[in-house]
Structures are given as structure tokens and as C-alpha cells.
Amino acid sequence: MSMDLYRELILEHYQYPRNMGDLKDPDIHHHDKNPLCGDQVGIGVKLDENKVVDIKFRGQGCAISQASTSILTEKAKGMTVEQLKALTKDDIQEWLGVPLSPTRLKCALLPLTVLQAGIYKKEEENPS
């Protein structure tokens, strides 16, 4: 894909985010913000047999943070918790498809940080 198509993808996810909303009684939920720019993301996840069956988010912020959250929620459906824990910044950068400055990279990684923090929080509360 060309850079222009990736930019269009980011704008489309920002303007028409996928999976925006709230889940009733999520198995995983976490919210955080980037204090440097004010971006905020809250993610809720429903699991069945340790697999994501539904995922929703609420957030506000720049196009990169919100598009990254929308894309992550699409990719996360059907993944196991272990697969979610194994996601890295490289996955996010690949999905966004555009080079990001260090400041913009923080915006793009906020949803991954929130999702993984929610997973670890749940595991601490309910060790198996």
C-alpha cells in the first residue's frame, strides 16, 4: 500500500472508528491517558475460553491514537490473551503503515499499553 492509502486508512478509522462503545461487565477493562498530549483510551474486552469475543473502546485524542485504537480492536477479535500480550510496537507500526516520530509513536502505542495493562491487572487480581 502507498503512504497515501495508509494515511486515508488512519483518517477513516479516526472519523469512523470501529468498536467504539461500552461493554456490559467486561472481563478486562482499563483506561489510561498520555499526560504529554492528553490522548485518552479506555478498552473493555469480553473473553470466552481465553479468546476475545468482543472488544470496545472509548477515547479522545489525536487521529493517530484513535485510529490505532480502532485498528487494534479489529485485529484483537479472535485473538487469545497470550497473543494480545505478545503484540509489540512493531505490530502497531505495521498496521498503521506510516513512519511515526517518537512523539506520534507514543500516541499510536497508547491503546496497546492500555490493553496489555488491563490484561496484567486482571491476571494479578485473578491468578490461575
**The model scores a pTM over 0.85:** yes
CA angle 82, 88, 91 (to 5 degrees): 105
pLDDT per position as a tens digit, 71-83: 999 999 999 999 9
Is residue 47 very low, low, confident or very high in pLDDT (cuts 50, 70, 90)?
Answer: very high
Q: Which residues contact 50 (CB under 8 A, 6 or more apart)?
A: 80, 81, 82
* CA–CA gap between residue 39 and residue 23 (Å, rounded): 21
pLDDT at residue 17 in the model? 94
Domains plus CATH for the chain? 3-125 (3.90.1010.10)
The pLDDT of residue 94 is: 93
